Amino acid sequence: MSEKATLKIDGKSFEFDVITGSENEKCIDIQKLRSETGYITMDPGLGNTGSCYSSITYVDGAKGILKYRGYPIEELAEKTVFTETAYLILYGELPTETQLQEFSYRIREQAPIHTNLEHHFSGFPQNAPPMAILSAMLNLVSCFHPEVLEVPTTGAEFDRTAALLMSKVRTIAAFAYRMASGKPINHPNPNLTYCGNFLHMMFSDPYHQYEVSPVIDKALNLFLILHADHEQNCSTSTVRVVGSSRANLFSSVAAGVCALWGPLHGGANAAVINMLGAIKASGRPLTYYLSRAKDKDDPFRLMGFGHRIYKNFDPRSLILKKQVHDVLQALNLEDGLLEIAMELEEATLQDDYFISRNLYPNVDFYSGILLRALGIPLNMYTVMFAIGRMPGWIANWQELHDHKLRISRPRQIFTGETERPFIPLSAR
C-alpha cells in the first residue's frame, strides 16, 4: 500500500500521497490541496517546497553529498574534464571517447559569434558589469539564431542548441572582458580545449600568444565542474520559472544569469574577495567582523558562509580549499587572502553562533582565491560561475519541457486593504 499523509482541518481529514525519491527523500504531494480543502501552503523562500521531479543532481545537505547523475562530485572533479561532466549533465551518461569528441567538435564549431554582434560590445560603458553584458548578449545571440527560439523537438536540435549555448557563453564572457579592458578581441582558436580556448580569448595579445599551463587548465576545469549544477538553486529555479512560460532557452538562461548575479548567490564569490581584502586592509581583528556578522542590526554577513541545504559541510568547498593550496604551490604563488580566509574559517568553527546555525564555508568561499591564482579579474568571477552553471541550466530547462510542466504560478496570502471608497483626484 502506498504511503499517505493525513491533514486535519476543522476536524475533517484529508489524505495526500507521499512520494519517495530514488535516494529515499520524502515529499507530500499537495497538488490537490487547494481544490480539496480551499487552503494553500505558505513557504517563503521555498525551503520546503518541491517544484519538480529531476534526475540530474542529488544533494544531501546533512551528509555533504553532491552527485551529478549518480556520480559523486569528488570523483568527477578528479577524473573528468568540464566538457565530459557537461555531457553527463546534459545527456545523463558519461560520454564515450567518440561522443566526447563529437560534443567537443560541436562546441568548437559554435565558438565564433556573428560579426554583427561584435560592435554591440563597444556600446557598453567600459565599467559595465560583465554579468549585465552576459545577460544582454545571450538574448542578442538568439536574434541571430532564430531556430533556437523553439523548444528542440529532435535529439539533433538539442545537440546543436546545447553546444551553441555552452560555446557562445564562453566567447561572450571573454569578449566582454576584452572590451571592458580596452583590448582587441581574440577570436576563438579551434585547436584549443574548452578551457584553453577561453584563456586564449581572455589573455592572448597581438604579440603574445597566451600559453595555457596544464596546472591552470586543470584548475579551471575543476572550477567549472564544481559549478556545473546544483539542483533547484535560485538561478536554476529562475531558468525553470521563465522556461515554464515557454520562453526560449536563451531568454531563460539570460534570466538565470541575472539571478546568479546577486551577492547571496553567485555574486558571493567576488563579495568574499572584497570582504577578505577589506579585513586585510583594515587591520582590525577578526572578532570585529564576527561580531558584526552576528549583529542582527548590521547588514554585514560573512560572505561565503552558510547554505540553504548544506548543514554540515559543502563538499565543493573542501575540494576547492585543497585545490587552492595545490595551485598556489604549483605556480609558486602566495596569497595573503588565503591566510585570512583560513583564520576566519577556524574562528567560526569555535564560535557558537556559527556552530549552532550550521554556517560553514560554501563553494564561493575559496573559489575566488583560486580564480585570483588563475589570473581571472575580480569582476569576472560571477561570469565564471555562469559559464560553469550553463550545462545545469540547459539540462533543467530541457527536463522541464520533457516533463511537460505547467506554467509556474505560486499563490499568495493577501494582506492589503479590502474594499475602499474611491476618492476623486480633486478631493484627495
Q: Which residues are catalytically annotated?
A: 307, 364
Interaction between residue 399 and ligand CMC (CB under 6 A)? no
Interaction between residue 305 and ligand CMC (CB under 6 A)? yes
Spatial separation of the C-alpha atoms in residues 179 and 20, rounded to whole Å: 50
Interaction between residue 216 and ligand CMC (CB under 6 A)? no
18 phi and psi angles, rounded to 5 deg: -100, 130
Q: Which is nearer to ligand CMC, 77 or 363 (CB)?
A: 363
Stretch that binds ligand CMC, among 13-21, 184-192, 215-223, 358-366 (CB under 6 A): 358-366
The three cell numbers locating residue 312 = 554540515
The secondary structure element, H or E, covering residue 12 is: strand 12-20
Q: Which is nearer to ligand CMC, 64 or 266 (CB)?
A: 266
Q: Which is nearer to ligand CMC, 106 or 308 (CB)?
A: 308
Q: In 209-267, where does DSSP find H-type helix?
A: 214-226, 234-243, 249-261
Q: Which is nearer to ligand CMC, 160 or 230 (CB)?
A: 230
Interaction between residue 265 and ligand CMC (CB under 6 A)? yes
Stretch that binds ligand CMC, among 122-130, 160-168, 172-180, 297-305 (CB under 6 A): 297-305
Question: Closest approach of Cβ 120 to ligand CMC, in Å?
Answer: 28
Q: Which is nearer to ligand CMC, 113 or 241 (CB)?
A: 241
- Are residues 213 and 186 in contact, defined by beta-carbon separation less than 8 angstroms? no
Binding residue (CB under 6 A) for ligand CMC from 64, 266, 388, 392: 266
The three cell numbers locating residue 10 = 476543522
Which residue from 223, 256, 201, 302 is spatially nearest to 400, judged by alpha carbons?
256
- CB nearest ligand CMC: which residue? 306
Interaction between residue 387 and ligand CMC (CB under 6 A)? no
The three cell numbers locating residue 347 = 574562528
Question: Closest approach of Cβ 393 to ligand CMC, in Å?
Answer: 13
Question: Closest approach of Cβ 373 to ligand CMC, in Å?
Answer: 20
**HSE-CB of 244 using CA atoms within 13 angstroms:** 15
- Are residues 298 and 290 in contact, defined by beta-carbon separation less than 8 angstroms? no
Spatial separation of the C-alpha atoms in residues 348 and 286, rounded to whole Å: 10
Binding residue (CB under 6 A) for ligand CMC from 307, 321, 372, 389: 307
Interaction between residue 288 and ligand CMC (CB under 6 A)? no
Interaction between residue 301 and ligand CMC (CB under 6 A)? yes
Interaction between residue 321 and ligand CMC (CB under 6 A)? no
Question: Closest approach of Cβ 320 to ligand CMC, in Å?
Answer: 12
Q: Using CB under 6 A, which residues numbered 44 to 83 contact ligand CMC?
A: 45
Binding residue (CB under 6 A) for ligand CMC from 130, 196, 256, 306: 306
**HSE-CB of 103 using CA atoms within 13 angstroms:** 25
Which amino acid is present at 165?
L
Interaction between residue 369 and ligand CMC (CB under 6 A)? no
Helix (DSSP H) and strand (DSSP E) numbers for the chain: 18, 6
Spatial separation of the C-alpha atoms in residues 253 and 393, rounded to whole Å: 7
Q: In what order do the strands lie in the sheet with 65-68?
A: 57-60, 65-68, 71-72
Q: In 295-407, where does DSSP find H-type helix?
A: 315-330, 336-349, 352-356, 363-373, 381-402
Q: Which is nearer to ligand CMC, 95 or 304 (CB)?
A: 304
The three cell numbers locating residue 265 = 548567490
Using CB under 6 A, list all residues that contact ligand CMC. 45, 233, 264-266, 268, 293, 301-308, 357, 359, 362-364
